[in-house]
Chains A and B, each alone.
Chain A
């Protein structure tokens, strides 16, 4: 693996390999053609290498998601790039009323061979901190999480094994997954270096594969040699990176030790690894970049109460404020959760809970 290989390079290289390994793989999206290669350059080089298989489309999110679904149902392995995650709302009918319904609602009274499958991957960048303002900065995955028949995957910058890098998970979704996948790429992850196990030597990392085929990993991180954790942090995507920074600060500046649980499959969600951690620590702080109300953290805390019960001494959610994300830097920073807030909330939980 290349040193200082970025998440963007990992995703791009994975797309290239997926195209090379299976000619059924195609991609649809806006402005994908070289030399531009997509708004965030994840598809750069693809159209030059595979000109007939990159379908640079009109600005028609609902249309291209629907078209990709039809292609998937008739034997291709399509990937759709939605330029900004905010634009997924335009394709919500396709995702909620079509793509995620077909396999199950058609499947009764059918043999395995007759089952309809929709092996489609919708990739999209989410998240703020780039000053793009209210309609180009959101983390809208919570709108789609919990939709039956949809898998929601959020890669991180961690690559405990090559297969689990952001690109590795994307390959898995494209080539192995036979279900519709919403693949959420936080924009700030793109330029981060992929963290290999060697680069993470200060951490002790357990990775667990749960839930079906193909399985996507959940990691539990603690600082190597640290005493038992007093707190569980749960975060995904780019927030997992910020939570890892907070975990470091908590340990070295405050002598507060924690376990950080990072799922990559957000929906359907396996509470198991987080519940195991909370049974050890007694406290949970959930961290997400989407807005607070009815978010991922709410589901997490509800499930922890159901599974861990009174062994949960204290729980709290940290998320974006329930406001549109402002464009101006100081305002945007105030709306989105930060490392400092993770540290502060963690200290509060441990000291008061």
Chain B
């Protein structure tokens, strides 16, 4: 039996989810004001997945995320200020403005913007850590849309064959950009993994407290047995795929927000006063982070070739 998390833990989860929510809302609001550059894919509505899985990792564990990575980054402990700065193309950004929204790296956190290709890379990281006998587990986040990419099945095969300590987390938000998953996915998704001998658990929830014990259990199994596992979470995307490309009926999204809001679901278990206190603190923290990033200088183009080693500069 897994013990119920103490209230202190719950408050921590709440704070992280509110941080992600507030961050992403600030991003969407200010994109239209022209304060961000490029594009973004917000994590609104999916916050419980990041918190549920990442809260169960050890410090040295590895995360490989995808285009929708802000939530994972913030749940990992990344700060809102350098993330805002990164999205604004500022020198103070997580990657000095080179990566933008989709290409982050900080400690053992990595993300990249092309679908599928991160999965073999994460599998290789897991195999390297196993070779080094470090006990480190790698988690890679995929969306349901990524299930259309062939290279992930090469990775599942080799992860199982070579016993990679990796947890595949599929966040099934039921829509790939504008294509509903029933138009893109045949058969049963868990069976695809089982075909490679990869077991796992499917959840259909926006409750962080359902995800936490499941993630903990799967991560323990991965760490102890060096067997890859899958956690498949059916979830709800509240925002557009990117900035303004939501083709779903507004009623459908409204219903998600009504019934599947991870923040409201967790708040029901917490004293309202403490929730409000956290919200106020986070609001102020995010506001300050945003303002600080906004006033920072843009990344300096004269430093463009830094980090491109001699002999690789063309």
Contacts and interface: CB of A to CB of B under 8 A. Distances in A.
A98 B309 contact: no
A267 to B, nearest CB: 8
A97 B114 contact: yes
Interface of B: 62, 82, 91-99, 103-105, 110, 112, 114, 116-129, 131-132, 150-151, 154-155, 157-158, 161-162, 299, 306-314
B95 A58 contact: no
Contact of B103 (A55, A75, A105, A267): A105
Chief secondary structure at chain B's binding surface? loop
Nearest to A212: B311
B98 A104 contact: yes
B26 to A, nearest CB: 21
A151 B312 contact: yes
A17 interface: no
A64 B103 CA distance: 22
A5 B129 CA distance: 38
Q: Which of A68, A105, A150 has the most CB of B within 10 A?
A: A105
Given A66-B124, A76-B128, A268-B314, A101 B308 contact: no
A108 B106 CA distance: 11
25 contacts: A62-B150, A62-B151, A62-B154, A63-B151, A63-B158, A66-B119, A66-B120, A67-B127, A70-B122, A73-B121, A74-B62, A74-B125, A78-B124, A93-B117, A97-B112, A97-B114, A102-B105, A104-B307, A106-B99, A106-B103, A109-B97, A149-B308, A151-B311, A212-B311, A213-B311
Contacts of A69: 120-121, 124
Contacts of B154: 58, 60, 62-63
- Provide the main secondary structure of the chain A interface: mixed
A75 B128 contact: yes
A350 interface: no
Given A66-B155, A105-B103, 20 more contacts: A63-B154, A66-B151, A67-B121, A67-B155, A70-B123, A71-B124, A74-B62, A74-B129, A93-B116, A93-B151, A94-B121, A94-B151, A102-B110, A104-B307, A107-B307, A108-B95, A108-B306, A109-B93, A212-B309, A212-B311
B125 A73 contact: yes
Nearest to B82: A109
A213 B311 CA distance: 7
Nearest to A96: B114
A123 B306 CA distance: 28
A31 interface: no
Given A105-B103, A106-B103, A70 B314 contact: no
Contacts of B128: 70-71, 73-76
Contacts of B132: 74-75
A108 B161 contact: no
A292 interface: no
Nearest to B126: A70
The 3 A-B pairs with the shortest beta carbon distances in the complex, nearest first, are A108-B96, A212-B311, A70-B124
A248 B120 CA distance: 49
Contacts of B123: 63, 66-67, 70
B271 to A, nearest CB: 39
B95 A105 contact: yes
Given A74-B129, A98-B121, A108 B91 contact: yes
B313 A268 contact: yes
Given A70-B122, A70-B124, A98-B118, A106 B105 contact: yes
Nearest to A62: B151
A110 to B, nearest CB: 8
B311 A67 contact: no
B98 A148 contact: no
A103 B307 contact: yes
Given A67-B121, A71-B125, A104-B98, A60 B158 contact: yes
A116 interface: yes
A196 interface: no
A214 B310 CA distance: 9
B286 to A, nearest CB: 20
Contacts of A213: 309-311
B114 A93 contact: yes
A67 B310 contact: no
B96 A109 contact: yes
A181 to B, nearest CB: 10
Nearest to B166: A70
Contacts of A179: 309, 311-312
A41 interface: no
B311 A107 contact: no
Nearest to B112: A98
B298 to A, nearest CB: 12
Given A58-B158, A71-B128, A109-B93, A63 B120 contact: yes
A60 to B, nearest CB: 4
A338 B308 CA distance: 38
A57 interface: yes
Nearest to A68: B124
A107 B158 contact: no
